[in-house]
Amino acid sequence: MNAANRDGEDLGARHPDGLRVGRADPSDWAALADIDSVAAAGDTARRDSVQRWCAEETVLVARDASEPLGYAVLEYGFFEQGFVTMLMVAPGARRRGVGARLLAAVEAACATEKLFTSTNASNHPMQLLLRRSGWLPAGLLHGLDEGDPELFYRSTGVRPRAGAGAGA
């Protein structure tokens, strides 16, 4: 099933590169855990999180014709605003635009006027992706990972809702 943004637009529209982004099904969790470098390395807590996220239908997945290449988790527990809890691209699919396409799909699907995410200060590839995608720095938090502060970002691509039920 393809995801639709809050205006009903299909996020799985065909693109010249064959990459499609849509809502993950609960049954997709094992394939997504296999491309998740943390889960694939044996982190059972991450595998459990991937399964829970898929069951809660909070996952957008990017796929080519044969397999998932990455996923993003969009939740609303951060001050009742959209928050990208996880963005993961398969190691072999990195630097091919998958992360940028996932961020754009999350922006389109977000049901709130504001959308945030965070990453460790040591995660330079994610910081670069966010900057290139137009996200702005929004804050810094010490203490989550000792010696590696968390950097918060805000999307500039989310637009205020035109009204309830728009595009239906």
pLDDT value at position 129? Answer: 97
CATH number of the domain residue 58 falls in:
3.40.630.30
Q: What is the pLDDT along the chain (168 residues), one digit of tens a residue?
A: 344 443 333 454 445 568 999 999 999 999 999 999 999 999 999 999 999 999 999 999 999 988 999 999 999 999 999 999 999 999 999 999 999 999 999 999 999 999 999 999 999 999 999 999 999 999 999 999 999 999 999 999 887 555 433 332
Phi first, then psi, for residue 38 (nearest 5°) are -75, -50
pLDDT value at position 93? Answer: 94
Q: Which residues span the domain enclosing 50?
A: 20-154
Domain count, the chain: 1
Q: HEC string of 116-148? A: EEEEECCCHHHHHHHHHCCCEEEEEECCCCCCC
Phi first, then psi, for residue 133 (nearest 5°) are -90, 5
The answer to whether 62 and 68 have CB atoms below 8 angstroms apart is yes
How are beta strands 150-154 and 81-89 bridged, if at all? unpaired
Q: How far apart are CA 126 and CA 120, in angstroms?
A: 9
Whether residue 114 is contained in a domain is answered as: yes
Whether residue 161 is contained in a domain is answered as: no
Q: How far apart are CA 13 and CA 4, in angstroms?
A: 10
The answer to whether 167 and 9 have CB atoms below 8 angstroms apart is yes
What pTM did the predictor assign? 0.85
* Residue 40, helix vs strand vs coil: helix
Whether residue 9 is contained in a domain is answered as: no
Report the chain's terminal Cα–Cα distance, integer Å.
17
Give 97-120 pLDDT, tens digit per residue.
999 999 999 999 999 999 999 999
Q: How far apart are CA 141 and CA 59, in angstroms?
A: 25
Whether residue 113 is contained in a domain is answered as: yes
